[in-house]
């Protein structure tokens, strides 16, 4: 039943400026990489169709502005997200440190139903570059503390691990969406209940 329905997965990529959010997305969707840096203004999205467990889903990948000065535009697109991808640069320690605040900001703005179980995926980008500042171990430790968040080491330039990472992202997003559908099904009468209460109240006032 559900497999016939067209599924749209909304994925948000967050992280400090120049960690490679746009490049990762471009590498994944268009298989292209450019050495030139161009700051993203506000936000934009690309879509890609993927097949997961025989289901065709459309991924709507939102690339965001990491630079503070381009954040005056709003972040309403956080709402209804199915998965959040946090990106840091393995050669720049500051980008790792600010992951916490990116995660918090997302949870506040997106206001998901269950913040603790919301799927995040961490990507350590630019592994083709030397010297490394954040070891894989340190990143994994951080992930463990955050509800066993999956961690991938990628290189948008070489196309390393990008496909695998986004497949995991899609799977997590799909699982989240199914879960939230189940959540509604568990309380099918929820809306009806308030309705009857209202009509009861109306009846009472009429009787008076």
Partner 1 sequence: MSNNKNKDDNNRPITSSPASTVSGKTSVSEDVDQSLPNNLVCEELQLAINKEASENDLTQAINRCKELILENFECSIERKWLVRHLIELRLRKQEHREAMADPQHPGNKSSGVSNRTIKGHHLKLQPLLKTATHPYCDHCTGTIWSVVQAWYMCDDCGYCCHYKCMSSIVRECAHVVACERGQYELRICPEIGMAEQKYLCAECGTQLVLNKEWSDIRRCDYNGLYYCSACHWNSSAIIPARVIHNWDLDPRSVSQSSLQILKVTADRPLINLEKLNPQLFTRIQELNLVKRLRKELQGIRKYLLVCRRANEEHLIWKCDRPHLIENLDMYSLQDLVDTHSGDLPSKLHNFVDIYTKHIKVDCEVCKGRGHICEVCKNEEVLFPFVISAFVCQNCKAVFHKSCMERKNNECPRCLRIRKRFESELESINDEDK
Contact 110, 104 (CB under 8 A): no
- Residue 76 or 183: the one with the smaller Cβ distance to partner 1 is 76
Size of the site for partner 1 (CB under 8 A): 20
Of 120, 118, 121, 102, the residue nearest 162 (C-alpha): 121
- Residue 42 or 159: the one with the smaller Cβ distance to partner 1 is 42
**How far is 145 from 76, CA to CA, in rounded Å?**
28
> Where are any strands of DSSP class E within 53-190?
55-64, 83-89, 120-125, 151-153
Question: Least distance to partner 1 from the beta carbon of 184, Å?
Answer: 16
Q: Which of 32, 37, 73, 144 binds partner 1 (CB under 8 A)?
A: 73
Q: Which of 17, 29, 33, 42 binds partner 1 (CB under 8 A)?
A: 42
Contact status: 62 vs partner 1 (CB under 8 A): yes
**How far is 157 from 91, CA to CA, in rounded Å?**
14
Strand order through the sheet with 7-14 = 43-52, 55-64, 7-14, 83-89, 120-125, 151-153
Name the segment binding partner 1 (CB under 8 A); options: 14-22, 41-49, 128-136, 154-162: 41-49
- Residue 71 or 180: the one with the smaller Cβ distance to partner 1 is 71
Question: Least distance to partner 1 from the beta carbon of 53, Å?
Answer: 27
Question: Least distance to partner 1 from the beta carbon of 113, Å?
Answer: 12
Name the segment binding partner 1 (CB under 8 A); options: 38-46, 120-128, 132-140, 184-192: 38-46
Contact 99, 85 (CB under 8 A): no
Does 131 sit behind a cis peptide bond, omega within 30 degrees of 0 on the bond before it? yes
Of 7, 48, 14, the residue nearest 167 (C-alpha): 48
Q: Which of 71, 107, 150, 163 binds partner 1 (CB under 8 A)?
A: 71
**How far is 135 from 180, CA to CA, in rounded Å?**
35
Contact status: 77 vs partner 1 (CB under 8 A): yes
Question: Least distance to partner 1 from the beta carbon of 24, Å?
Answer: 19
The residue ranges that bind partner 1 (CB under 8 A) are 41-45, 62, 71-79, 101, 104, 108-109, 111
């Amino acid at each position: 039943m559900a497999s016939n329905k067209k599924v749209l997965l909304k994925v948000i990529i967050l992280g400090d400026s120049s960690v490679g959010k746009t490049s990762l997305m471009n590498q994944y969707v268009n298989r292209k990489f450019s050495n030139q840096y161009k700051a993203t203004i506000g936000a934009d999205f690309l879509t890609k169709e993927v097949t997961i467990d025989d289901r065709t889903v459309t991924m709507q990948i939102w690339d965001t502005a990491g630079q503070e000065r381009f954040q005056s535009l709003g972040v309403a697109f956080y709402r209804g997200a199915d998965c959040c991808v946090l990106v840091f640069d393995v050669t720049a320690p500051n980008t790792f440190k600010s992951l916490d605040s990116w995660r918090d900001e997302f949870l506040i703005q997106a206001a998901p139903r269950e913040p603790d179980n919301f799927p995040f995926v961490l990507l350590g980008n630019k592994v083709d570059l030397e010297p490394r500042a954040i070891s894989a171990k340190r990143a994994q430790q951080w992930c463990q503390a955050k509800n066993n968040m999956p961690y991938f080491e990628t290189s948008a330039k070489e196309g390393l691990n990008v496909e695998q990472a986004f497949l995991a992202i899609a799977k997590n997003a799909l699982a989240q969406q199914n879960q939230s559908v189940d959540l509604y099904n568990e309380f099918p009468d929820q809306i009806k209940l308030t309705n009857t209460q209202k009509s009861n109240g109306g009846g009472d006032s009429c009787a008076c």
